Amino acid sequence: MDDTVGTECGVFAAIDFKQNPIFPYIYWGMRAQNHRGHQSHGFLTYDTKFNVHRGLDLIPKIKASDIPRWLSRLPGHVGIGNVRYTTSGRLNKEALIRGTQPVTVETDKVKLALSFNGNIVNTIRLKKELCKTFPCFSYDCDAELICRNLAVELMQGQDLHSAVKTCINEVEGAFSVSGITHEGELFAFKDPYGLRPLSTGCNPEGNICAFSSETVGFDINGFDHGFEIQPGEFVKAVEGNFERKQIVVPKRKALCAFEFAYFARPDSKLNGSYVYEVREGFGKNLGREYADIVKNSDVIFSLPETSDDAAYGLHEETGLRWERGTRRHRYVTDRAFILLSQERYSTINRKLNIVDHRISGRNLILVDDSIVRGDTTRVVVDKVRKFGAKEIHLFITFPRIIGPCFYGIDMATYGELIGSTKTPEEIAKIIGANSVNFQSIKGFVKATGMKKEDLCFGCATGEYPTPLAQRLANWMRKRFESGHKETGRLYEIDVENIT
């Protein structure tokens, strides 16, 4: 529950072949996925032109009296939506507004709209090349790079398949994309590693086809789940169905393992499994892996809400009581990273309440999903200690994070990650716990039901699935270890020319 980590984006897109207004479905599909991006949101529909609404912060509630106004501003039977947390582009307010998705390109020859989830690694080269065709191109988000890259190919007369194929071959990174052409066609595609989730769904009558980052986007609309789009696959919605084409040979599947531990909603399905069931498996594994600590503990606590399912699994495995002694203040939604650092401590305190009367004199297992910077964990441990806990043992479902993420998770440098230089024993000392116990990668993989080689564990192993990211990681690590100041966000680094 490290609140200082932001995720990348969420996508929902749909088309109604009976030509009914699509906006309500896009709205609810995005509302179900607001956890994937809090900084901005956007909706785009198509009738004979692109109609767009973009805004900062959370998706607003729509009063019944306002529905006609929204429908008249966003008419059309096909649409895409996005929620975004910025992991690329500039960070000032104007840039955030300009970087809000969906993005569009409209030239004499081509009109294209796109919603994107992920992060591009070779930004500098792509931007330089695109500036030749779009001289006023001011880069504000990776979605723009993909959208313009596709537009260039289409302007040169390529068809959509070929344009996407060229784009996938030129862009390195994580990208799960959905878009609309100027003819109102709805399509989606994924990078050749399938780092970010994106799947299909349809309404039971079969006239609405949709794409969603998480399956909760379908559930909220009453749609049936379809298939997960495969790495390097292009999918087009056609008359109540999907046309699939493997346009690039997948390099290897590398779904982000962190999605299971932290980002995805527990009631979403990833690779066919409910995330909450996978998290229960994490708790069971932790119980088995650290049986000695369990033997000497009195009670399980968890940090809501991403750790609750693992705590339940741990309780089932061990029989140890899971005490629901940590509660979130439901309507305190400010994210700690936006606030001034000196406010962080009190913000975390404001968000999380700990019920104290069963803590004193007991040995506690505290379950959390991950330790990134360690700020939040330190505050919580401190608070629990003040309530008189005898021993505090942290059980962490995601393996120790030792390196940055280049694929859309806001962990940009080695220096900010407590696990990049500290052992579990050292981390325990810093955050004031008796021990810190990370789930093994083997146990984690087993609980997902996937093969290790089909998951990305780059931030936990230092082995990244894509070549440029690996090169960048090695270069950054070397510089970090020799005392160089780290620059932060990736878009500032010309990855292909580092030596």
Between 43 and 116, CB nearer to ligand SF4 = 116
- Closest approach, Cβ 365 to ligand SF4, in A, equals 25
Is 9 one of the annotated active-site residues of the chain? yes
Distance CA 15, CA 467 (A): 36
Report which DSSP code applies to 402.
-
Between 293 and 445, CB nearer to ligand SF4 = 445
Give Cβ neighbours of residue 20 (< 8 Å, ≥ 6 apart).
77
Between 201 and 458, CB nearer to ligand SF4 = 458
Distance CA 367, CA 347 (A): 21
- Closest approach, Cβ 123 to ligand SF4, in A, equals 16
Distance CA 375, CA 418 (A): 9
Structure token pair of residue 69: 């106004």
Distance CA 312, CA 305 (A): 12
- Closest approach, Cβ 87 to ligand SF4, in A, equals 10
Torsions phi, psi of 246, nearest 5?
A: -80, 95
- Closest approach, Cβ 272 to ligand SF4, in A, equals 19
3-state secondary structure (DSSP) of residue 76: coil
Distance CA 310, CA 260 (A): 11
Distance CA 298, CA 325 (A): 14
| Vertex 254: Cα angle to 268 and 459 (nearest 5) | 95
Report which DSSP code applies to 322.
B
3-state secondary structure (DSSP) of residue 408: coil
Between 177 and 409, CB nearer to ligand SF4 = 409
Positive or negative: CA dihedral 151, 155, 161, 166: negative
Between 364 and 459, CB nearer to ligand SF4 = 459
- Closest approach, Cβ 409 to ligand SF4, in A, equals 4
- In this structure, are residues 476 and 488 in contact, taking their beta carbons and an 8 Å threshold? no
Distance CA 429, CA 436 (A): 9
Between 299 and 460, CB nearer to ligand SF4 = 460
- Closest approach, Cβ 213 to ligand SF4, in A, equals 14
3-state secondary structure (DSSP) of residue 290: coil
Between 143 and 459, CB nearer to ligand SF4 = 459
Residue whose tokens read 């969906």: 102
Positive or negative: CA dihedral 446, 447, 452, 458: negative
Query: Binding residues for ligand SF4, per CB under 6 A?
Result: 195, 256-258, 405, 407, 409, 456-459
Between 43 and 457, CB nearer to ligand SF4 = 457
User: How many Å separate Cα 322 from the centre of its chain?
Assistant: 28
- Closest approach, Cβ 460 to ligand SF4, in A, equals 7
Residues 85-119: b if buried by 16+ CB within 10 A, e if exposed: bbbbbbeeeebbebbbbbbbbeeeebbbbbbbbbb
Torsions phi, psi of 349, nearest 5?
A: -60, -40
- Residues noted as catalytic: 9
